[in-house]
Structure 1
Amino acid sequence: MTWLRYGVVFLAVAIGVAQVVRLLDITKDEMLGSAAQIMVPAMIAALIEGQQYVRRHAALPGSGGAWRFAFIAMGVATVLNVALTYAGPTVAPEFAKLAIAAPGSQQFVTLLLMYAGGYLLANRFFFGIGAGNTMSRDKARNERPGK
């Protein structure tokens, strides 16, 4: 279920932000798109998964578990990145920029590896942030007087 939720959140954020930016581009007659749109979906999905981990286990994930999550989530995000690349510029314009390189070409592989590296780091960092924040909040809630 974790990977399904991660993928759904990733796609919802990627497509949602792309559509908002596209709408603003049309109404404001400006180009607001940014490469940050490619990393933000992974960040938000990893944050949510970190929160869910603490809710399920009532403990922080160990370093090995967090890295395991980061590597698997990197694979999921990279596959979804490729899918969004070919979904077209009307669905996710920033992701569609990868389509300028021929699939399998050195440029395509280099860009995809750069994205994968960014996904790995974002997933690891934000998974830990989500877990840590949830754990701190739960601890503070339990320490309140009157509980």
Structure 2
Amino acid sequence: MSAVSLIRYALVFLAVAVGVALLVGFLNTQVDSALGSSAQLMVPAMIAAVIEGQQFARREKRKPGGAEAWNFAWIATVIAVALNVALAYGAGRWLPEFGKLAVTAPGSRQFLILLGLYAGGYLICNRFFLGIAAGNQVSLMRGRGEIE
């Protein structure tokens, strides 16, 4: 995966994360509830990996190989974790939904455990959704006769 792919992944991740946080915050004020879940942590990674899988297939006219997909998944996981931590501890005062993620002091044992759990989830999401999206895009392109 290229640097452009990783930058696009980060931008899509950020856009979806902020969008979901704004939507959840708006719904919470309108419905007077406490919506939100750990799913909103994974959705940005899922969507960003789907877009990258589609882009890879369009560009390369094939699915990524195992090593390519895992390399992307590991690097994208580092990006996702870094962005998640930055949003939780940096943007929490402006977007309360991100502040809810900052449940423990950075560097504490609980923080490291949660970070590891999030990283594992991101790794699985990135690898799984990259492959699915690339495979679907290749099938679509074959159906249109764009590739053999």
Structures share fold, TM-score greater than 0.5: yes
Q: TM-score range by the shorter chain?
A: over 0.9
Match of 1:74 in 2: 77
Alignment of 1:1-147 (within 5 A): 1-86=4-89, 87-88=91-92, 90-91=94-95, 93=97, 95-142=98-145
Tell me how far apart the structure 2 counterparts of residues 97 and 28 of structure 1 sit (CA, whole Å).
19
- TM-score, normalised to structure 2's length? 0.91
User: How much does 1:98 deviate?
Assistant: 3.5
Backbone CA RMSD of aligned residues: 1.3
% identity of equivalent residues:
57
Matched residues, number: 142
> How many angstroms does 1:24 deviate by?
0.7
Distance across 2 between alignment mates of 1:134 and 1:66: 15
Instruction: Report the Cα distance in structure 1 between the residues aligned to 2:96 and 2:15, rounded to whole angstroms.
Output: 11
Whether the aligned pair in 2 keeps the contact of 1:98 and 1:108 (CA below 8 Å) is no
Which contiguous aligned blocks of 4+ residues in structure 1 show a shift greater than 4 angstroms? none
Distance 1:129 1:92, change over 3 A: farther
Deviations 1:89-113 (A, max 9, x none): 54261x4333221110000011011
TM-score normalised over the length of structure 1 = 0.92
For structure 1, the residue ranges without an aligned partner over 5 or more in a row are none
